[in-house]
Structure 1
Amino acid sequence: MSHNIAMHDDDLEKLGESLNEIIMSSKAESVLQGARKKKQEFFDHYIKTKKTLTELLNDLVHTEEVVGQKLLDLDQQKSQIMQEIMKMEQEVQRSQSKSQNLDSELEFLQKELERLRDAEQEIQTLQQEVDEDTTEVIPSAIYVAQLYSKVTKIKLEFDTEPHMLKGVHYGGDVVTPINIDTSTRTPCEVSDELWSLVKTEW
């Protein structure tokens, strides 16, 4: 009986050694390490993308503030010049009705009027340059996203899983939450669902 137990123990030991060799020779550990590495790389890429997007949005806000202030300043200057032009034109009209002895004063006023008109043209040129700079400074993708948000009244969240589309639609009487799993829908289906929230009545 004890002899049989000893043989049974030997068999179990050999079986354990065989299982250990199989486990050690398999690629399970290397596959697991590779999966962990890919998961870390994906996480690092996500953090980097999120940081870049945040920086872009901050730059966009700062740029809009700077450009907005420039436009306000230019509008003020333009308004002041227009007022001066109107005053000068009135002075010119009054001067034209006076005696020929006022020709020299009229000439002076006309020169002043021309100077002010040149200044107005310069302001308009500067304003056009600011408008052009605005369209160049704002990244096209963010500009399109901002325009899309204003037209559709849909505000999307940025801190979501890669395959999840979350946000709200605030264009109706009631705010409608958006929660779409894009891994189970085609891009066309996702687009159709979003556009279905937008009112077509103008």
Structure 2
Amino acid sequence: MAAFRDMEEVSQGLLSLLGANRAEAQHRRLLGRHEQVVERLLETQDGAEQRLREILATEKEVAQGLLDAKEQAHRGGTELQQLEAELQKASEEDSRLKASLLQLTRELEELRDIEADLERQERDVDEDTTVTIPSAVYVAQLYHRISKIEWDYECEPGMVKGINPH
């Protein structure tokens, strides 16, 4: 803007020089001033063009960066959808496995209960057998000592055979 004001000033000076028919010195001074103004204008124009090129290059870089960011965001969105689908599948698999584990745990508990019942029944049978058999042996030995009867242990179950040697 200052350059245009200077040009206007130079132009008015030239007009006043021509109109007043002044001395040649004033004319040279104004021409030198005009050259300075033109040089400043050209320098300013070159600087403005350079800044404009820099701004355009920066805009291009920013636009490319924005496009790259949009593409990356799109890829990230696609990847996120894939991960969400995988998470859903894994969650369903986890639920299925938890249900299966719960069923197997129940079956294991039932088997443990059955095993505990069998062990208890086995102990009961062992107790009955151990109590009965020793007492039967004791009774048989007692009868043998008192009566001197010799028992036949090879007879059929439910039968008692004995021989009195006296």
Is TM-score (shorter-chain normalized) higher than 0.5? no
TM-score scaled by structure 2? Answer: 0.43
**As a proportion of its length, which structure holds more strand?**
1
Higher RCO structure, 1 or 2 (CA under 8 Å, sep 6+) = 1
Q: What's the TM-score, normalizing by structure 1?
A: 0.36
Greater Rg over alpha carbons, structure = 2
